[in-house]
Chains A and B, each alone.
Chain A
């Protein structure tokens, strides 16, 4: 099975711009979660999508948004970029069956640098 893929792997933007990151989950996985990783804050949960619906949201401003498509692929968007948005953005997928724990598998991440 192919793993979680994320595109692009690296991105450089300037303050005020917006950015869209893409994630393709493992085949058959319907849950996609997004995380921001920085040296100072560690792994911070952004949001989770399941069957095209956002079901959980972390404590991030409204500039961070996402969506999921019918094929479970997901995108996240950050508008009006700030310097502090520079981070590794990780996507993780899981099958998340009813009432059953299932582990999350991470993609390689997108390294976003805001200048």
Chain B
């Protein structure tokens, strides 16, 4: 299926810096999700967004559902070493007339935080 365009592919930052990553698509999604994956583990849900324009925070993380429903961004403020990992965006389409759990993933942003 169609993948989302996630950027940047990787980031190397100093501890304490802010981070921003985003996802875009040519398709409209009902839901945008952001996951973090540590090596050898499954993705862990960070933030879920359900409405266009929605801005949601989870601690130092903030994510927004784009107005056009075709994009989303994730910001991490004051990064710390444990933020290291791969961050994935996912767009979900749910049709009202048919239960269809159709989800597309970005390729991931690999974050490295230098102490």
Contacts and interface: CB of A to CB of B under 8 A. Distances in A.
A41 B88 CA distance: 13
B50 A101 contact: yes
A109 B105 contact: no
Nearest to A30: B99
Nearest to B96: A99
B101 A105 contact: no
Q: How large is the interface on A (under 10, 10 to 19, 20 to 34, 35 or more residues)?
A: 20 to 34
B45 A103 contact: yes
A48 B31 contact: no
A86 interface: no
Contacts of B1: 45, 58-59
Contacts of B107: 42
Given A33-B101, A96-B99, A103-B48, A90 B88 contact: no
A43 B90 CA distance: 10
A31 interface: yes
A48 B101 contact: yes
Contacts of B5: none
Q: How large is the interface on B (under 10, 10 to 19, 20 to 34, 35 or more residues)?
A: 20 to 34
Contacts of A104: 33, 45, 90, 92, 101, 103
Contacts of B48: 103
Given A90-B42, A106-B44, A31 B3 contact: no
Contacts of A42: 3, 105-108
B100 A103 contact: no
A88 B88 CA distance: 15
Interface string B79-91: 0000000001010
Given A6-B42, A56-B102, A90-B42, 19 more contacts: A42-B105, A43-B43, A45-B1, A55-B99, A55-B101, A56-B100, A94-B101, A96-B101, A98-B99, A99-B94, A101-B30, A101-B50, A103-B45, A104-B33, A104-B90, A108-B40, A108-B41, A109-B40, A109-B42
Question: Top 3 closest A-B pairs, CB basis?
Answer: A106-B42, A43-B105, A99-B96
